[in-house]
Amino acid sequence: MSVRQLFDLSGKVALITGGSRGLGLQMAEALGELGARIAITARKAHELTAAAEHLQAQGIDVATFPADMSQLDNIPALVEQVVATVGDIDILVNNAGASWGAPAEEYPAEAWRKVMTLNIDSVFFLAQEVGRRCMVPRQAGKIVNIASVAGLSGNPAGMNTIAYNTSKGAVVNFTRTLAAEWGKYGINVNAICPGFFPSKMTHGLLSEMGDAFTARTPLGRLGGEEDLKGLVALLASDASRHITGQWIAVDGGASVA
User: Which residues on adjacent β-strands are paired with residue 66?
Assistant: 42
CA gap 83, 40 in Å, rounded: 13
Cα angle value 96/225/55 (rounded, 5°): 70
Q: Contact 201/193 with Cβ under 8 angstroms?
A: no
How many residues are listed for the chain in this entry? 257
Backbone φ and ψ of 166, nearest 5° = -65, -45
Nearest alpha-carbon partner for 210 in 224, 196, 195: 196
| Catalytic residue, candidates 36, 82, 146, 164 | 164
Q: Contact 185/127 with Cβ under 8 angstroms?
A: no
* 107 in active site: no
Burial pattern 63-84, b for ≥16 Cβ within 10 A else e, equals: bbbbbebbeeeebeebbebbbe
Residue 85 neighbours by CB distance under 10 Å: 13
Active-site residue numbers? Answer: 164
